[in-house]
Amino acid sequence: MTGAAAIVKCLELEKVDFVFGYPGVAICPFYDSLEDSEIRSILVRTEQNAAHEANGYARISGKPGVCAVTSGPGATNIITGIATAFADSIPLLVITGQVESALLGSDVFQEADICGACESFVKYSYTVRNVEEIPKIFKEAFHIAMTGRKGPVLIDIPIDVQNASLRKFQYPEEVKMRTYKPTVQGNPVQIKKMFQRLAATKRPILCVGGGVHLADAKERVRAFSKKFNIPVVCTMMGLGVMEEKDPLFFGMVGNNGKPYGNKAMNHADLIIMMGARVADRSISQPDLITDNKTLIHIDVDPAEIGKNAGPEIPLVGDIASVLDACLEEEGEFHYSSWISELENIKGEIQKVLQKKKEEGMTKNHLVHPEYFLEELNKQLNQDAVYVADVGQNQLWSCANYQMKDGRFLTSGGMGTMGYS
């Protein structure tokens, strides 16, 4: 078995369905071996799109997206797509071909230090020097991409390693990495503290982000909100976690969010950030979020907690696991006056927004994009996948997203034009 065939075997064992990419000399052995596999090769027109297509596949399927490109300019072309996935915590496995091992560092034709170039926006990167290491490296790479805070992992493979013969193929059953052990279960002491705070507060708000989708936890969020009567807002990447017509949902927050969503955040005395970054687009002034408020931040990535605002109760763990523990808690919380206040604010603002849309439709006999998107929403299936590129179209789209159980896909963290 060649190294290239071993790569394909690893992908098959990980139940990979598609490889998005563009062949070139340094990755041709892999593509030749892929021809005999049931894995479908999706040919793109530029390497950046290989990462974007793998990104979209990962978001919808819940599986890691896999892409493969050649060395040199093929590898550098995919960098923007990798950075886009990293910014939104999307699990990718990026395979790049490389020049022969003996020529590395000699500036030979189409050599590029892709691992060095991508260091800032991959979870981990490998250069495969020994064909016997392929099974172990791929097992680790899939594990890293899909655990903790998900993200892209890069594997750079010289062409001679792809062509070399493997003495024995043995795919590891489990991963043993002493230096990589992400926290899954939330600290029960911190969870107890959170519920003590909920019992003492009068105006709580739950702000959910893209981490909820990545943890496949939207149904848990809905159950948590309903059980404990907590109103919810979302970031742009959290669109679709809550049903738009849920009486406890008060829209998207941030610079381009719903005014009533932002008012809910401003008027709250306790904010639970769940799977969301305290960043400039979701929170206009992150450094002021804790003014006269208690902040509870729940995230799988400990590096994200306290980055822009210090929470009173930090809680590290997988969102789904944390919510499972929360749903086992008992207690009745009564926030009826707070919810009534939010409903009144929402109703008044919606009247103003609707009037503006109607005026925009008739002015100069032109249709305002927001009115068009509102009408489009009425025609779409409630589980539709809604994809927006970057620019004003993105802002109009997220402001008018009204799906019940669909998904809203866009480049949120990086804002990469051409994503769709």
In the predicted structure, residue 364 carries a pLDDT above the cut 90: no
Q: Going by C-beta distance under 8 Å and a sequence separation of 6 or more, which residues neighbour residue 204?
A: 198, 230, 231, 268, 269, 270, 271, 272, 333, 335, 338
pLDDT of the residue at 367:
77
Residue that the structure tokens 């509870």 belong to:
296
pLDDT band at 361 (very low <50, low <70, confident <90, very high): low
* pLDDT cut 90: percent of the chain above it: 76
Residue that the structure tokens 């792809």 belong to:
162
pLDDT of the residue at 318:
97
User: What does the domain layout of the chain look like in residue ranges?
Assistant: 3-163, 188-336
pLDDT band at 285 (very low <50, low <70, confident <90, very high): low
Does 188-336 carry CATH code 2.60.260.20? no
Measured in degrees and rounded to the nearest 5, phi and psi for residue 315 equal -140, 105
In the predicted structure, residue 280 carries a pLDDT above the cut 80: no
What is the three-class DSSP state of 80?
A: helix
What is the pLDDT averaged over residues 261-272? 93
List C-alpha distances in Å: 136 to 122, 145, 173, 198: 19, 14, 10, 46
Q: What tokens were used for 66?
A: 């896999």
Mean pLDDT of the chain: 92
In the predicted structure, residue 366 carries a pLDDT above the cut 80: no
In the predicted structure, residue 281 carries a pLDDT above the cut 80: no
Angle at 48 between CA 389 and CA 414, to 5 degrees: 50
Write the pLDDT tens digit of every residue in 122-158: 999 999 999 999 999 999 999 999 999 999 999 999 9
pLDDT of the residue at 368:
76
pLDDT of the residue at 398:
86
What is the pLDDT averaged over residues 167-178? 93
What is the pLDDT averaged over residues 283-290? 64
pLDDT band at 268 (very low <50, low <70, confident <90, very high): very high
For the chain, the maximum distance between any two Cα atoms, rounded to a whole number of angstroms, is 74
* pLDDT cut 70: percent of the chain above it: 96
pLDDT of the residue at 286:
59
Measured in degrees and rounded to the nearest 5, phi and psi for residue 146 equal -100, 0
Give the CB-side neighbour count of residue 256, counting CA atoms within 13 A.
16
d(CA 338, CA 342): 6
Which CATH class name applies to 3-163? alpha beta
What is the pLDDT averaged over residues 284-298? 77
pLDDT of the residue at 288:
61
Asked if the domains 3-163 and 188-336 are classified in one and the same CATH topology, the answer is yes
pTM for this predicted structure: 0.93
| DSSP-based helix, strand, coil % in the chain, nearest 5 | 45, 15, 40
pLDDT of the residue at 69:
98
Could you write out the DSSP letters of every residue in 195-217?
Answer: HHHHHH-SSEEEEE-HHHHHTT-
Instruction: Note the residue count of the chain.
Output: 420
* Range name among 160-169, 224-233, 278-287 with the lowest pLDDT average: 278-287
